[in-house]
């Protein structure tokens, strides 16, 4: 079943054109924007035979909503969902390396979720897992911030996060939670095998049950005066260290 939606902003629209132009129904552009970036997008769309419409900026403003910074470009697309429904689909697929997951425990800010998807894609994560309730889902803002990663990396929303973590453990995946007060150290913890890195929500961190379910908890060594990091920044650090270790084998 396909899902019709809009994408806004140059990164999201250009990424979709390059990766899956056939899914783009039409692109609406600000008729008064004629800079080089817009010309490049127009050329790419015309080369892919995608319908282009020049419209008033006010129409784009209305489509994007109050918080949508569309940059003068909006695309109507039809999504074919990534063919993964749960973690077992990933675990049973033909992976070329040990399973590698990012788990987000209740991240509610769509900008943070989009940034997490982007860094997860860059570090070769096989899927991002998050709870269905009290957490951000895939919306237009997330897709824009993700700069195309929302279309390439599986995002699996689960009903019970603790149960999902236990299922990963039963499959031999080492579940590592990040917590500021954890006794373990990110840089001295083995992260090269089957792995799920679990990060908590903005400010609150991991929920108690989530933390208790993890195999171990680690902290990110800090060398400055700040005491905490944005969840997307913390995800980037943790995922990069895991990728460094995996590539060193």
From the annotation, which residues make up the binding site for S-adenosyl-L-methionine? 200, 220, 229
Which residues belong to the annotated binding site?
200, 220, 229
Biggest alpha carbon–alpha carbon distance for the chain? 57
* Residue 135 φ/ψ, nearest 5 degrees: -155, 155
**Which parts of 19-61 are beta strand (E)?**
24-30, 51-55
Distances (CA, A) of 13 to 58, 75, 126, 146, 221: 19, 6, 23, 11, 37
Please give the angle made by the CA atoms of 202, 5 and 112, to the nearest 5 degrees. 15
- Residue 49 CA to residue 183 CA, distance in Å, equals 56
- Residue 69 CA to residue 87 CA, distance in Å, equals 34
- Residue 137 CA to residue 127 CA, distance in Å, equals 14
Residue 100, strand partner residues: 195
Ramachandran area for residue 89 (φ above 0: left; ψ -120 to 50: alpha; else beta)? alpha
């Amino acid at each position: 079943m396909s899902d019709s939606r809009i994408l806004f902003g140059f990164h999201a629209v250009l990424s979709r054109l390059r990766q899956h132009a056939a899914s783009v129904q039409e692109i609406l552009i600000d008729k008064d924007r004629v800079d080089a970036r817009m010309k490049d997008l127009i050329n790419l769309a015309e080369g892919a035979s995608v319908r282009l419409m020049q419209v008033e900026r006010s129409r784009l403003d209305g489509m994007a909503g109050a918080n949508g910074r569309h940059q003068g470009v909006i695309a109507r697309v039809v999504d074919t969902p990534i063919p993964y429904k749960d973690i077992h689909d990933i675990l049973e697929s033909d992976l070329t390396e040990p399973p590698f997951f990012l788990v987000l425990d209740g991240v509610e800010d769509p900008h943070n979720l989009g940034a997490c998807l982007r860094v997860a894609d860059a570090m070769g994560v096989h899927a991002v897992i998050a709870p269905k309730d009290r957490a951000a889902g895939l919306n237009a803002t997330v897709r824009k911030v993700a700069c195309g990663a929302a279309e390439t990396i599986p995002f699996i929303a689960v009903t019970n996060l603790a149960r999902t973590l236990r299922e990963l453990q039963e499959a031999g995946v080492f579940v590592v939670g990040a917590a500021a007060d954890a006794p373990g150290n990110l840089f001295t913890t083995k992260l090269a095998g089957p792995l799920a890195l679990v990060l908590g929500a903005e400010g609150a961190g991991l929920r108690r049950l989530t933390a208790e379910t993890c195999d171990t908890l680690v902290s990110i060594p800090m060398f400055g005066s700040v005491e905490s990091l944005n969840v997307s920044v913390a995800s980037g650090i943790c995922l990069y260290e895991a990728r460094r270790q995996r590539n060193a084998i």
